[in-house]
Amino acid sequence: MTSVKLQIIYFLLLLFVIWRRFIFIITFAPLVKCFFFLKKNISKGDMSIPGYEKRLGFKYYIRNYYSSFVTYYLYLVSLYPSHHIRNFIYRRVCGLGLGRKSVVYFGAEVRSPYNVSIGEGSVIGDYAILDGRNGIKIGNNVVLASHVSIWTEQHDHNDPWFRCDTQQHNPVVIGDRVWIGPNTVILHSVNIGEGAVVAAGAVVTHDVPPFTIVGGIPAKPIGTRNSNLKYVNNGAHRSFI
């Protein structure tokens, strides 16, 4: 078999896989959109009361399966080899606030996307985690490298029931032209000022002043950045991923 025929076969197989996933994504989009509408507009009840799940019974299990399916759906969307399709689903189905010329690379996990806002020209690296349960606001021309994690909620280790809602957790706010290095962890209630830089592997637990470079665990100031920043990201991205 000639190399040309092999290339044609590989191309047809690729089209088959892409098309099959596209049909799945479009077919279940209304179901997912309904889920996020309900999550955003209807109170979830007092989940902090011990025995709540048992009291709900069948309704709880239905909601659990529904939520798990949506998580699986978003996972498939995150790996779909088209930025245009992913952005369409994020914006129109999931309610993610995604600015013009922004790029979300493959494998990124966005929780509660209706509580997440990403400005124009910003880049979200592959396999980033954006936990939007208590809100995330990302400015313009921000760059998040690979495997960045932003958490807006966490368990209370002192609580007898190990709940998340015993503390006040505020949104994470990231200013314009911030650069966040790979494998960084940003915890709830943190504000990162304009033009700041977070070094790779840092754990950010407190606010970062504008144009400040921080690093370490926990992150501390290690330098300053030029405050005369003018660059604007044009939306260029690698195809498929």
Catalytic residues: 155
Alpha helices in the chain (DSSP H): 3-27, 29-41, 52-56, 58-78, 83-88
Q: Cα separation of 178 and 145, whole Å?
A: 11
Sign of CA dihedral 213, 218, 220, 223: negative
Bond prior to 218 in cis (omega within 30° of 0): yes
**Strand pairing report for 212-215 and 220-224:** antiparallel
Helix (H, G, I), strand (E, B) or coil at 95: coil
